[in-house]
C-alpha cells in the first residue's frame, strides 16, 4: 500500500468483527512502532499487549466505558519510562519528548495496522492509575494511550479543517 493511501484511508474504528487477530500481525504492528523516530533515539516507549477478556473489561471500565475496548480482540497500552527519558533530557524529556516519541510510535502502529487490513482506535481518555494497575505497569512508567486493534466492522468517515485554516506561510 502507498503511504499516502494509508494516511488518507485510516479512520478510527469503534466497531469490530468478533474475530481474533493473528499474533504475527500484532508483531508487525509492534515492529512498525519501534521504527518511529524518538528523541536521541532513546526509545523509552513500552507496549503492553492485552488479549485477556477480563483485563479488557477492566480497561474499558477505566476508560469511562468506551466499548471498543471490549469489542476489539486486542488492546495495546502504550507507556514510557519516566526515569529513562529524565536521565537523558530532564523535564523537557518527560513533559515533551516522551509524549512526541510515543505519539510517533502510535501513528506508525495505526498506519501499519490499516495496511494489514485491521482497524484501530487511539484512546486517550482513561484513568491513568487504574490502567497502570490493570496491566501491572511499574511506577516509573506513564500510560499515554490504549490502542484497540481488530478487524473493522464499520467504515467511518471524518473530515478535516481546510489547509488554509491551519497553515501559516512565514517569510
Ligand atoms: C490523543 C488522542 C486521544 C484520543 N482519545 C480518544 C478516545 O478516548 N476515544 C475515542 O473514541 N477516540 C479517541 N481518539 C480518536 C479521535 O477521536 C479521532 O482520531 C478523531 O476524531 C479523527 O477521526 P479519525 O481518526 O477517524 O480520522 C483520540 C485521538 C488522539 C490523537
Give a yes or no: residue 8 inside a domain: yes
Give a yes or no: residue 56 inside a domain: yes
Give a yes or no: residue 106 inside a domain: yes
Question: In this structure, what CATH number is given to the domain that contains residue 98?
Answer: 3.40.109.10
Integer Cα distance of 91 and 74 in angstroms: 33
Give a yes or no: residue 121 inside a domain: yes
User: Is there an atom of ligand 1 within 6 Å of 15 CB?
Assistant: no
State the residue range of the domain holding 135. 3-166
Which tens digits make up the pLDDT trace of 5-64? Answer: 999 999 999 999 999 999 999 999 999 999 999 999 999 999 999 999 999 999 999 999
Give a yes or no: residue 15 inside a domain: yes
Give a yes or no: residue 118 inside a domain: yes
Integer Cα distance of 31 and 109 in angstroms: 8
Amino acid 87: pLDDT? 98
The contacts of residue 43 (CB under 8 Å, 6+ apart) are 34, 101
Q: Whose CA is nearest to atom 19 of ligand 1?
A: 12
Number of domain units in the chain = 1
Give a yes or no: residue 125 inside a domain: yes
Which tens digits make up the pLDDT trace of 142-161? Answer: 999 999 999 999 999 999 99
* Ligand 1 pocket, mutate which of 6, 7, 10, 12 (most atoms under 8 A from CB): 12
Give a yes or no: residue 96 inside a domain: yes
Q: Whose CA is nearest to atom 12 of ligand 1?
A: 123
E-strand stretches of 23-106? 45-50, 74-81
Amino acid at each position: 500500500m502507498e503511504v499516502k493511501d494509508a494516511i488518507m484511508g485510516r479512520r478510527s474504528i469503534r466497531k469490530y468483527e468478533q474475530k481474533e487477530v493473528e499474533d504475527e500481525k500484532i508483531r508487525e504492528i509492534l515492529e512498525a512502532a519501534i521504527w518511529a523516530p524518538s528523541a536521541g533515539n532513546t526509545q523509552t516507549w513500552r507496549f503492553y499487549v492485552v488479549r485477556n477478556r477480563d483485563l479488557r473489561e477492566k480497561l474499558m471500565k477505566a476508560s469511562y466505558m468506551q466499548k471498543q475496548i471490549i469489542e476489539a480482540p486486542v488492546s495495546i497500552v502504550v507507556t514510557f519510562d519516566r526515569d529513562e527519558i529524565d536521565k537523558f533530557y530532564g523535564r523537557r524529556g518527560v513533559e515533551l519528548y516522551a509524549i512526541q516519541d510515543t505519539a510517533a510510535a502510535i501513528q506508525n502502529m495505526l498506519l501499519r495496522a490499516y495496511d494489514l487490513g485491521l482497524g484501530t482506535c487511539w484512546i486517550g481518555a482513561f484513568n491513568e492509575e487504574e490502567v497502570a494497575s490493570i496491566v501491572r505497569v511499574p511506577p516509573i512508567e506513564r500510560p499515554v494511550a490504549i490502542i484497540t486493534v481488530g478487524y473493522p466492522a464499520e467504515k467511518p468517515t471524518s473530515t478535516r479543517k481546510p489547509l488554509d485554516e491551519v497553515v501559516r506561510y512565514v517569510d
